[in-house]
Amino acid sequence: MAGMQTRVARIAESALAEQQFVTPLDVLIGLGWLAQPNVERWQQGRVSSLDRCVQVDRDKTAAALAVLQSWARDHGLQPWDTDYGDLQFTDGGDHEAERTFRTRWAAAEAPAPEAPKKRSRELAVIAALSSWTCSSCDEDGDLLLQSKAGPLCLDCADLGHLVFLPSGDAALTRRAKKASRLSAVVIRWSTRRKRYERQGILAENDAIELAAQQCAEDADARALRRSRDQQRRAAIDEKFRDEFAAAIRDQFPGCPPARAEAIAYHAALRGSGRVGRSAAGRALDPDAIRLAVAASVRHVDTDYDDLLMSGLDRDDARHRVRGRVDEILSTWCDGVIQLD
């Protein structure tokens, strides 16, 4: 036990001199029982509880932290609660153990460790294996997003403007996801393996194009472009795209031509579950046209995507940007293109 006391004392003295406080994490890392990369994995939410990463049992961990507490009190340090957000230290959420881990020792409350940043959630879109109906618009499609109210199609989930990028090229996927303001992973249930497996991602078309350009440095750019062009031609309904773009220009004469073409392009993608592929969209219903244009405005002209990626509820995010969306739609409806 004397050896443990000496080691903990040295670690605590070093941490106190460097940062003016000492935490249980400092001790466990200093003892070699906890690796810093595993702490980072835990902070990123990739490990459910920190004790899964500690290389000794709970009794030995508790003994070391008891030595820290005794040393700190002998040196006149005070216990201060440390903000670790919703991170969990123990698998069972033991109250006393959690409180011990969240206590730092210092002469004063400040300074303190930086509070963990709120983790961005990863949106997961499911590739449907059976028939389903959107809980919002009663349409269906190949992809759905589960919500509290039930399954949502891409448009009702505000993901209809995103493009599917299949798995297979890790560099392309990584770069596209990084460049896209809003993205989602596409998963499918494997009946054989009894688990969800990644099929690809949904990302903004411009982000995918940029990622493809970046990948050209280590791949044959012409082959990549040719493959994507073939996929695009196979997926797009050219005649319907032209009709949809014309309907947008009729209903919103102020909508920039390039924007109208982009909206029509996404609406015409086969098997997408987007507004344009619904019965109302195929019939060029004015409400369907408005929904498609409003979705584009929401994603392009507001900070809606950033709000979603920050973890804000979809309905709350829509409410925040609704005024700006309505303002732009009204302007375009009046035939004015230039925006403030």
Which residue type is seen at 73?
R
Which residue type is seen at 253?
P
Provide the terminal-to-terminal Cα distance of the chain, rounded to the nearest Å: 71
Q: Is 257 exposed, middle or buried (0-12, 13-18, 19+ CB in 10 A)?
A: exposed
Q: Are strands 184-190 and 123-127 parallel, antiparallel or unpaired?
A: parallel
Residue 194 is predicted with a pLDDT of: 76
Q: How far is CA 268 from the centre of its chain?
A: 27
Compute CA distances 182 → 83, 202, 203, whole Å: 29, 8, 7
Q: With contact defined as beta carbons under 8 Å apart, do 331 and 309 qualify?
A: no
The domain limits of the chain are 2-106, 123-333
CA separation for the pair 153, 151 (Å, rounded): 7
Strand order in the sheet with 150-152: 150-152, 143-147, 123-127, 184-190, 195-203, 163-166
Residue 116 is predicted with a pLDDT of: 67
Residue 160 is predicted with a pLDDT of: 86
Residue 179 is predicted with a pLDDT of: 92
Q: Is 339 helix (H, G, I), strand (E, B) or coil?
A: coil
Return all residues near 124 (Cβ < 8 A) that are at least 6 apart. Answer: 145, 146, 184, 185, 187, 196
Return all residues near 311 (Cβ < 8 A) that are at least 6 apart. Answer: 118, 119, 120, 121
The structure tokens listed for 120 are 């961005």
Say what the pTM is.
Answer: 0.45
Residue 78 is predicted with a pLDDT of: 94
How many C-beta atoms surround the C-beta of residue 264 within 10 A? 24
> How do the pLDDT tens digits run along the chain, 340 residues long?
558 899 999 999 999 888 999 999 999 999 999 988 888 878 877 777 899 889 999 999 999 999 999 999 999 999 999 988 888 899 877 889 999 999 999 998 888 887 766 555 678 899 998 889 999 888 888 899 988 788 999 988 889 889 999 998 887 898 999 999 899 999 998 888 777 888 999 999 999 999 888 887 765 654 666 666 666 555 556 777 888 889 999 999 999 888 888 888 877 764 444 444 455 445 578 888 998 899 889 988 898 988 888 778 888 889 999 999 999 999 998 887 654 4
